[in-house]
Amino acid sequence: MPVLIVGSIALDDIKTPQAEHLNLLGGSASYGAVAASYFTPVQLVGIVGEDFPSEHIALLESRDIDLEGLQRVPGKTFRWSGEYMLDMNVRETRSVELNVFEKFTPELPPSYKKATHILLANIAPDLQHHVLDQAESPEFVVADTMDLWINIAKDSLVRLLGRVDMLILNDGEARQFTGESNLLKAARAIREMGPKFVAIKKGEHGCLLFGDEGEFFTCPAYPLEELHDPTGAGDTFAGGLVGYLASRGGEVDFSGLRQAVVFGSVLASFNVEAFSLERLKTVDRSQIQARCLELQAMSQFVIPGL
């Protein structure tokens, strides 16, 4: 089953307390697509300008990512610049240049319209709606979002929740969106707006997964001493999660989602080990499986006599 992924494709400038790198491949769809490609073929929808380096196209093609839905137009590619503080959970956006993104309308080529598994990676909610308007047979739709859209496009985001099966967001965004400080209450409030499942990411503290009443799973983040660039961790998580679900096929249930959350978390742990997609693109299946097993071992416990 291919996964349809729509989102941003960017050239990023990233500064961390240790290093600064310019003109990196970034964007929610780039990370999501490469992560999903470890499990299943990907159909990508996005836009780049004429300055987009051909080596990035080659990387996406090498991962079996279908680029028929990638619009290549005159002008400059979307650019984003961010700086991480000593606490790498804290990030400031330094600049955003929309460029070709300003006039982007995601169009699905005919072969994409039959996609059953769809990741609406982080872009404006109106564009996420436009993708769903064209999808003919969606079975499992996951949406990601960010604080910007909660601030400036909340109505559209709320309407989107009625059309998706799962929302992924981070803890701060869940609080901002719902006005609830308690994450269990925040997840309940989001589920009441539509999606059956909610994943709340807590950075280095892992992820909470919520389903129907009583369905709850907490997944630790894979512990890392060397964290180089957290950019795209959330997008990688989402791509890995949807890619795994598509490869599994069949109806999505909570036990499948628990596994998907583990795969997403493990892929994100590789992604943050280097800038841009430099580490993510070199992972192999045996490394992914090894970290899944380590996570399993470190998070299970037995209490004798209970």
Which positions lie near ligand AMP, rule CB under 6 A?
8, 10, 12, 26-28, 80, 122-123, 148, 231-235
Phi and psi torsions of 29, nearest 5°: -75, -30
Query: Given phi > 0 = left and psi -120 to 50 = alpha, else beta, which region is 173?
Result: alpha
Residue 217 phi, psi dihedral angles, 5° rounding: -140, 135
Token duo for residue 47 = 């836009």
> Closest separation between CB of residue 30 and ligand AMP, Å?
7
Question: In the bound complex, what is the minimum distance in angstroms from residue 240's beta carbon to ligand AMP?
Answer: 13
Work out how close the CB of 155 gets to ligand AMP at its nearest, in angstroms, rounded to a whole number.
18
Nearer to ligand AMP, 116 or 209 (CB): 209
Task: Please count the residues of the chain.
Answer: 306
Q: Which residues, including other chains, have CB under 8 Å from residue 153's CB and lie 6 or more apart?
A: 124, 125, 126
Which residues lie closer than 8 Å to 182 by C-beta, 6 or more apart?
A: none
Question: Cβ(81)–Cβ(94) under 8 Å?
Answer: yes
Shortest CB 172 distance to ligand AMP, Å: 11
Q: What spatial distance separates the first Cα and last Cα of the chain, rounded to whole Å?
A: 42
Q: Distance between CA atoms of 87 and 145, rounded to whole angstroms?
A: 22
Residue closer to ligand AMP (CB basis): 22 or 148: 148
How far, in Å, CA of 252 to CA of 197, rounded?
10
CB closer to ligand AMP, 88 vs 246 = 88
Least distance (Å) from ligand AMP to the CB of residue 251? Answer: 28
Give the nearer residue to ligand AMP in terms of CB position, either 211 or 234.
234
Instruction: Give the tokens for residue 35.
Output: 């992560």
> How far is Cα 115 from Cα 118, in angstroms, rounded to an integer?
7
Q: Which is nearer to ligand AMP, 27 or 49 (CB)?
A: 27
Least separation in angstroms between CB 68 and ligand AMP: 21
* C-beta closer to ligand AMP: residue 231 or 265: 231
